[in-house]
Structure 1
Amino acid sequence: MGYLGEQIPKLGFGLMRLPMLGEDVDIGQTKEMVDRFLNAGFTYFDTAFGYIGGKSELAIGEALVKRYPRESYQLATKLPAWADAKNAQEAKDMLTTSLKRTGAGYFDFYLLHNLGAGRTRFFDEYGIWDYVQEQKAKGVLKHVGFSFHDKAEVLEEILQAHPEMEFVQLQINYADWESDAIQSRACYEVARKYDKPVIIMEPVKGGLLAQPPEPVQKVLKAADPKASCASWALRFAASLPGLITVLSGMSGLSQMDDNLRTFAGFKPLDGADAKVVEQARKTLEAIPAIPCTNCRYCVKGCPMEINIPGVFKAANSLSVYGNLESAKGNYGFETREGNKASACIACGQCESVCPQHIEIIEALRTAVENFE
């Protein structure tokens, strides 16, 4: 007997970064992307209540649900109880809204969105764990799981507390595989330990691994001049066992076509390929960055409650990948629940306890210049 999702093709269409025409989704191009995706034999679509302010769910209703038989694809969406919902009823109503926007009738895969850190408690307080099981019993939801952004030990705690969860969605890519902050490998290993099939998100790290730093590109192009850098990242992710699918957030036809080429007659990484990717990872790792290990000693006594490791994560994204827009997005996410780097009063408490002896105050000043 196979595992849940074993027969689903291993490229999934992530609907977070759809092509846009001004403030609206480009429905014409989205329809063409949906057509190419399905015609190539792929069937998994992933959206969320909050993607593009709800426009993603509306768009996939137009481009997919209204145009294809419901049984010919799998549609996933997510419930973010920690965002915008002021009480349990508002959180539960998100499912009703998602069903109305998409017109799908039911969701094949339904996810509690972005568990970890301080966000998990909202699902506990609002009774969402029981609610989704009730909806599953009614046939509104076929399979229920969650997406996750936190440490492996936190993932294990959730899986121990909620064995009824059928699958997990994790950020996995070769850049984050050994990351102390993301812990891709460690989280994947926890999911395997508990026999939960995995959906992979961010396999190309939000597009950063499609155009990695020049030294990394040289490693990949030397091994295969014809292969795109994105294809190496996707093959790394899709070569892991126990997957439901690998989501790629495609925002145009060229990205769709490149991904379809990668997965046409898909070949997992062999031994030589794995060595190339490991060389690329180590090359990326060697690019100078703030040597923060996310021990969080600096945070415990910060009078301004600045998420210093989060600020450094964004700063390192900028220094390694050179993508200011992406790094600013990271910075906004990391400082969303507390003060920004500009709140620093230069008291020096953080520097007095930093095991890596980082010049934190100066690094925060640089972050202010770059991101605020």
Structure 2
Amino acid sequence: MMDFKPKKKLGFGLMRMPLLNPSDEASVDVEQVCKMVDMFLERGFTYFDTAWMYHDFNSENVVKAALVDRYPRNNFTLATKLHGEYIKTKEDRNRIFNEQLRKTGASFFDYYLIHGIDEELLEIYEKLDCFNWLLEKKRAGLVKHAGFSFHDTPELLDEILTKHPEMEFVQLMINYLDWNSEWVQSRACYEVAVKHGKPVTVMEPVRGGTLANLPQDIEMLFKEKDPAMSIPSWAIRFVASLDNVMVVLSGMSSIAQMEDNTSYMENFKALSEDEKKLCLKAGEKLISKLAIPCTGCSYCTSGCPMKISIPKYFKMYNENTFDDLEEKEWSVKYEDYPQLLENGGGKVADCIACGQCEGVCPQHITIIENLKMIARHIE
């Protein structure tokens, strides 16, 4: 089952590309992405991952401009996805798929995923017969490998893989912070995939940047162990060290991040058992400090009528609450706050509680209540 895995374990996740306008997810800096794509391919990496709604529905266009139009089709592998929030009828499946082929210009997809399955979305996918539909695309040669991404309990994952053994791989949120967490259950979901013999692609290994910017006391744990390695490298190497993982997706948003990630993944060496334990120890310390379990995926922002940069507010809040609130009054990084309002970005207090964001949040965060809470602090 592992015969289709990439030669190198690092994948380029195209959901956090560099922007020309920080308040406009669609304003991707294509010129910089082209340079990142060049570096990625030159160093022997081949796996690119996008989706229908990434970057406010612009990510697949960027794939065409930065990758497909510039390199032979056999030089890379491309994954994209169908999300249940955007299909209401069986006709919608082909409409979106055909548009994805047009936008990317790829002629076929190496990997295609039924996207973000949870209990609610599973009902939509089953009702619209999406699993059989995907197999039809595979038989037609338009998809090489069929799989799905997942955001729910290990019990539900077990049910799906039992019912749909034809799915070849599964994409899971795995990182050392959520390895033993109650809400994500990374380890338990990973073990279900192993039981069913399904290779795993990993999303959110650095948890939306949370594991790249650690409190000083946790950062020192890693620096004392190996001062030469970057902090994000520990998170990516932790999941890449899992035997059943075929690729680790990193949503790189700068050339510097591309340079760092490819430097240690080009000739990847798995972590030792002691190094894995160090990561888990850091995760335990961090989880006690984290206020809002946001991964920064930005699914919530594309449909926000008030254009509120929700993940950025959550990130700012988490960074300011790493210390005990009972001992240290929460203080806003005011140098960050104005940037969220530039170019038409909405204030956190502008939320009209429409619920669009909560409907698409894979972490099922109570976004509205958290925005109100943050507004009380910074407005």
TM-score higher than 0.5 here? Answer: yes
Q: Distance in 2 between matches of 1:38 and 1:231?
A: 19
Provide the residue aligned with 2:164 in structure 1: 162
Q: Residue 92 of structure 1 contacts residue 131 of structure 1 at CA under 8 Å; is this kept in 2?
A: no
Following superposition, the deviation at residue 365 of structure 1 comes to: 7.2
1:101 paired to 2:67: no
Provide the residue aligned with 2:303 in structure 1: none
Provide the residue aligned with 2:4 in structure 1: 5
Following superposition, the deviation at residue 335 of structure 1 comes to: 6.2
Q: Distance in 2 between matches of 1:339 and 1:8?
A: 36
Deviation digits for residues 115-170 of structure 1 (CA, Å, limit 9, x no counterpart): 01311111111121111111110100000000000111111111111111000000
SS of the residue corresponding to residue 212 of structure 2 reads: coil
Deviation digits for residues 49-79 of structure 1 (CA, Å, limit 9, x no counterpart): 1111221100011111111111111000000
Provide the residue aligned with 2:228 in structure 1: 226
TM-score, length-scaled by structure 1: 0.80
Q: Show structure 2 runs of 5+ residues with no match.
A: 293-313, 324-331, 341-347
Provide the residue aligned with 1:369 in structure 2: 376
Following superposition, the deviation at residue 92 of structure 1 comes to: 2.8
Following superposition, the deviation at residue 369 of structure 1 comes to: 3.1
Residue type of the partner of 1:56?
A: S
Q: Distance in 1 between matches of 2:357 and 2:225?
A: 36
Provide the residue aligned with 1:179 in structure 2: 181
1:35-114 pair list within 5 angstroms: 35-80=38-83, 82-114=84-116
Following superposition, the deviation at residue 286 of structure 1 comes to: 3.8
Q: Which moved more, 1:125-134 or 1:32-41?
A: 125-134
SS of the residue corresponding to residue 107 of structure 2 reads: coil
Deviation digits for residues 227-258 of structure 1 (CA, Å, limit 9, x no counterpart): 11100001101000122200000011011001
Provide the residue aligned with 2:204 in structure 1: 202
Q: Distance in 2 between matches of 1:5 and 1:369?
A: 51
Q: Residue 92 of structure 1 contacts residue 128 of structure 1 at CA under 8 Å; is this kept in 2?
A: no
Q: Distance in 1 between matches of 2:42 and 2:65?
A: 18
Provide the residue aligned with 2:14 in structure 1: 15
Q: Show structure 1 runs of 5+ residues with no match.
A: 291-312, 344-362
With over 3 angstroms needed to count, the CA separation of the structure-2 counterparts of 1:168 and 1:371, relative to structure 1, is farther
With over 3 angstroms needed to count, the CA separation of the structure-2 counterparts of 1:341 and 1:71, relative to structure 1, is closer
Q: Distance in 1 between matches of 2:315 and 2:209?
A: 15
With over 3 angstroms needed to count, the CA separation of the structure-2 counterparts of 1:139 and 1:336, relative to structure 1, is closer
Deviation digits for residues 338-364 of structure 1 (CA, Å, limit 9, x no counterpart): 996878xxxxxxxxxxxxxxxxxxx99
Q: Distance in 2 between matches of 1:175 and 1:256?
A: 22
Q: Residue 115 of structure 1 contacts residue 147 of structure 1 at CA under 8 Å; is this kept in 2?
A: yes
Q: Residue 85 of structure 2 contacts residue 360 of structure 2 at CA under 8 Å; is this kept in 1?
A: no
Match of 2:266 among 261, 264, 267: 264
Following superposition, the deviation at residue 20 of structure 1 comes to: 1.4
With over 3 angstroms needed to count, the CA separation of the structure-2 counterparts of 1:113 and 1:339, relative to structure 1, is closer
With over 3 angstroms needed to count, the CA separation of the structure-2 counterparts of 1:371 and 1:193, relative to structure 1, is farther
Match of 2:121 among 108, 112, 119: 119
Query: Does 1 or 2 have the higher relative contact order (CA < 8 Å, sep 6+)?
Result: 2
Match of 1:214 among 209, 213, 216: 216
TM-score, length-scaled by structure 2: 0.78
Q: Distance in 1 between matches of 2:365 and 2:34?
A: 41
What is the total number of aligned residue pairs between the two structures? Answer: 328
SS of the residue corresponding to residue 86 of structure 1 reads: coil
Residue type of the partner of 1:116?
A: D
With over 3 angstroms needed to count, the CA separation of the structure-2 counterparts of 1:67 and 1:164, relative to structure 1, is same
Provide the residue aligned with 1:30 in structure 2: 33
Structure 1 vs Structure 2: percent identity of aligned residues?
Answer: 42
Provide the residue aligned with 2:299 in structure 1: none
Q: Distance in 2 between matches of 1:67 and 1:341?
A: 40
Provide the residue aligned with 1:358 in structure 2: none
Deviation digits for residues 280-336 of structure 1 (CA, Å, limit 9, x no counterpart): 12221343769xxxxxxxxxxxxxxxxxxxxxx99995644999999x89x984466
